[in-house]
Structure 1
């Protein structure tokens, strides 16, 4: 089995990564910090519609309902968490290693009047503070790119009840035969960083390696779907949105969009060479 060679970022590094980037995403993209899903080239859906659609596609695959317990591992500021709870009736608990984002998510749940159904907690998704079998399903929207995948999947299997499902999106290299890759900041830093560089904030792993990753965690694979064709419009739309809102962002936060992108995201060439997948597995 092949595992990503990049060293996962620390909690502090990841919180720093999503500090200015999170503010930029909220202003220029959406409160969903993930890919959009468009039905085809003629789909004129907005970013909000497309990102909500991806959340809904994963929510359907959770197969949960009222009374079930769902964990959102890497919940951002909670928009997908709230949407899953509303569409399924399940109790949903989100975890994140950004205390600021947990505060925002908790306030959003209060404002929506669902603070008893939807809760949030500061926690590392690779070392969860929950007993074995605590959840009926687990959702992870691209958050696994920041983790040691084998470790995360084993931990998620631990906290699932028998029959519980893991539903996630992940990013993989599009080049045939390409091995695991690390994603670093753009520009010269990206060129200088090696695969073991501690500055790697995210990593890719091959589509064809997922079956082994899942079985190695004690899970059984139910679905592995390449949705790159539907999500590939994300990066060009995101870049356009960042440039459109750059003056407002810089006025509000006193930092340039270029500085945020150079220090906190992948280079354009790396982004264009990445595909997106949906994976569903269950605990026997």
Structure 2
């Protein structure tokens, strides 16, 4: 959930590491059942991983493609709970470094592979994966249909793809549009409109199995935690990495503002490759 900047920039490393601490060891949002749900951030982010895993529903021994694997925390959970093998791809060199360190520390080098690969130029053979998933990665691609088609190419017939990402769940007014466009640019994202997702899935040659919008269970609490965490770490990040505290703090402020916009949403998309 941090801003995407050059991987070789030490400030990127600082923000990534801060985000992992804030998000309970993961790099994605958490899910809470309701306002009375007192789950910790680690519990909530792991719950989000499990919600995706349940929808993939892989069998032991099957091969899972993790698109945008981040620090490999979800991949490790998938292996531990479902008995699958995972190939994780990412274009972030720093994230891949963290991912490899985690996989090795967990003793899972034999069942989890992580590699620098662009989802739109994957070197994998057709129909080489049983299933695929992607958490908060496809918001960074320009053309969902084209990218989903690339994933569909490497899926076996009947294989599932589960995507979890921020979406716009309704049209926005002009002032809101101005803020959102600036916010998206700052985090290098291109958010999808919820209403357009079914057509993009179909255009990729996949069948839509489920489309559920769950932003009210996710966004405000996750983004408030991000804001609180960045505020508390801003001075240390400035001292250690040279990133001005006001810049770090603004990331959190903008994230909270984004989360409070009624049209901001978060969706889980489940698609299947036809048999």
Q: Report the TM-score when normalising by structure 2.
A: 0.85
Give the 3 Å change call, closer, same or farther, for CA 151–178 of structure 1 in structure 2: farther
Q: Is the 8 A contact 2:120 2:147 kept in 1?
A: yes
Residue 230 (structure 1) aligned with residue 220 (structure 2): no
The alpha-carbon deviation at position 184 of structure 1 amounts to 9.9
The runs of 5 or more residues in structure 1 that have no matched partner are 1-10
The alpha-carbon deviation at position 19 of structure 1 amounts to 3.9
The alpha-carbon deviation at position 268 of structure 1 amounts to 4.1
Give the 3 Å change call, closer, same or farther, for CA 132–173 of structure 1 in structure 2: same
Question: Aligned Cα RMSD in Å?
Answer: 2.9
Counterpart of 2:85 (choices 78, 84, 91) is: 91
Give the 3 Å change call, closer, same or farther, for CA 272–25 of structure 1 in structure 2: same
Query: Partner of 1:253 in structure 2?
Result: 241
Residue 242 (structure 1) aligned with residue 230 (structure 2): yes
Residue deviations 1:56-112, cap 9 Å, x none? 110111111222000110011111111111111000111110122212211211111
The runs of 5 or more residues in structure 2 that have no matched partner are none
The alpha-carbon deviation at position 271 of structure 1 amounts to 3.8
2-side partners of 1:184 and 1:132: how far apart?
41
Secondary structure of the residue aligned to 2:157 is strand
Query: Partner of 1:172 in structure 2?
Result: 167
The alpha-carbon deviation at position 263 of structure 1 amounts to 7.5
2-side partners of 1:151 and 1:258: how far apart?
38
The alpha-carbon deviation at position 205 of structure 1 amounts to 1.3
Give the 3 Å change call, closer, same or farther, for CA 260–169 of structure 1 in structure 2: same
Query: Partner of 2:146 in structure 1?
Result: 151
Q: Is the 8 A contact 1:20 1:260 kept in 2?
A: no
Residue 279 (structure 1) aligned with residue 269 (structure 2): yes
1-side partners of 2:163 and 2:212: how far apart?
11
Give the 3 Å change call, closer, same or farther, for CA 262–123 of structure 1 in structure 2: farther
Counterpart of 1:61 (choices 32, 55, 60) is: 55
The higher-RCO structure (CA 8 Å, 6+ apart) is: 1
Deviates more, 1:249-258 or 1:48-57: 249-258
Secondary structure of the residue aligned to 2:89 is strand
Counterpart of 2:15 (choices 10, 14, 21) is: 21
Secondary structure of the residue aligned to 2:119 is coil
Residue 207 (structure 1) aligned with residue 201 (structure 2): no
